[in-house]
Amino acid sequence: GENVEQHPSTLSVQEGDSAVIKCTYSDSASNYFPWYKQELGKRPQLIIDIRSNVGEKKDQRIAVTLNKTAKHFSLHITETQPEDSAVYFCAASISGGVGGGSQGNLIFGKGTKLSVKP
Amino acid sequence: DAGITQSPRHKVTETGTPVTLRCHQTENHRYMYWYRQDPGHGLRLIHYSYGVKDTDKGEVSDGYSVSRSKTEDFLLTLESATSSQTSVYFCAITIGVGVTGELFFGEGSRLTVL
């Protein structure tokens, strides 16, 4: 089955700097890659996603890149702010797979705790 | 909040007792999921459902069972709770249609097994 590795497990940056979180996946059939942000004591929330027919996607200060050949994808946050401090999870799935609706059964990485220091 | 609620939100129980967590949704979503979240392990899929009475196992299903007798309710049961099942449990649904579907999580249920 799919396996998702996420690095680093913790990341500390100064406000205004960029942050990059990287994930690798094992199943070449995976074609849907979302990123979730979880603030302390809250539910995980989708912040951006990318599908395998796209190499990069941006949404304001957040971008995700995908390299299907190398089977890795990354989250880039520019001009970080204290409110970006949270745990970020990457995930991968086979869209349309059995039981999974449009995004399949998501397999998550173990998370990255991002701390943005003022 | 996509009309999804979990109950109870917090529960403390003893080893060997049965526990049932409930996920309730009000918007007729077809797909529902149970995940557990543990430090250092991220989110791991326990069971999922793709319709009434249609369920299947996820990554970490041992020790858990589920039922979905109505579209709106997805129940997670620990027949005999163990300390290793101390965790935060998240229910989730798929919202949206086609290729734009998003996994939306409930607020979580914190279970402590003593």
| pLDDT single digits (tens) B21-58 | 999 999 888 889 999 999 888 999 999 998 899 998 88
List the single residue in B with minimal CA-CA distance to A90.
Answer: B42
The whole-number average pLDDT for the span B1-24 is 94
A108 chain-B contacts, CB cut-off 8 A: 42-44
Q: What is the pLDDT of residue A102?
A: 42
Task: Report residue B4's pLDDT band, with 50, 70 and 90 as the boundaries.
Answer: very high
Q: Rounded to whole angstroms, how far apart are CA atoms B32 and A105?
A: 11
Q: What is the largest CA-CA distance in chain B?
A: 43
Q: Give B31 or B114, the one with higher predicted confidence.
A: B114
Element (H, E) at A46: strand A45-51
Q: Which residues contact A16 (CB under 8 A, 6 or more apart)?
A: A79, A80
Nearest to B94 among A89, A91, A102 (CB): A102
CA distance, residue B51 to nearest chain A CA (Å): 9
Range in A19-33, A47-61, A95-109, B55-69 the model is least confident about? A95-109
| A105 band by pLDDT with thresholds 50, 70 and 90 | confident
pLDDT tops 60 at residue B1: yes
In this prediction, residue A103 carries a pLDDT of: 46
- Token pair 């049932």: residue: B20
Is the CB of A111 inside 8 Å of chain B's CB atoms? yes
Outline where DSSP puts E strands in chain B. 4-7, 10-13, 19-25, 32-38, 42-51, 54-57, 64-70, 73-78, 87-95, 102-105, 109-113
Q: Report whether pLDDT(B5) > 60.
A: yes
Q: Is the pLDDT of residue A60 over 50?
A: yes
State the pLDDT at residue B50. Answer: 85
- What pLDDT score was predicted for residue B99? 40
Using the predicted structure, report yes or no on whether residue B2 has a pLDDT greater than 90.
no
Say yes or no to pLDDT of A100 above 60.
no
Alpha carbon distance B68, B36 (integer Å)? 18
Banded pLDDT at B100 (limits 50, 70, 90): very low
Four-residue CA torsion sign, B93, A48, A84, A115: positive
Verify whether the Cβ–Cβ distance A108 to B98 is below 8 Å: no
- Each residue of B60-87: pLDDT tens digit? 999 999 999 999 999 999 999 999 999 9
> Does residue B71 contact residue B88 with C-beta atoms inside 8 Å?
no
In this complex, which of A1, A44, A45 lies closest to B43 when CB atoms are compared? Answer: A44
Contact A99 B56 (CB under 8 A): yes
Q: CA B90 to CA B4: how far, in whole Å?
A: 11
| pLDDT, mean of residues A9-14 | 98
User: In terms of CA atoms, which chain B residue is nearest residue A93?
Assistant: B103
pLDDT of residue A104: 62
Partner B contacted by A45 (CB < 8 A)? yes
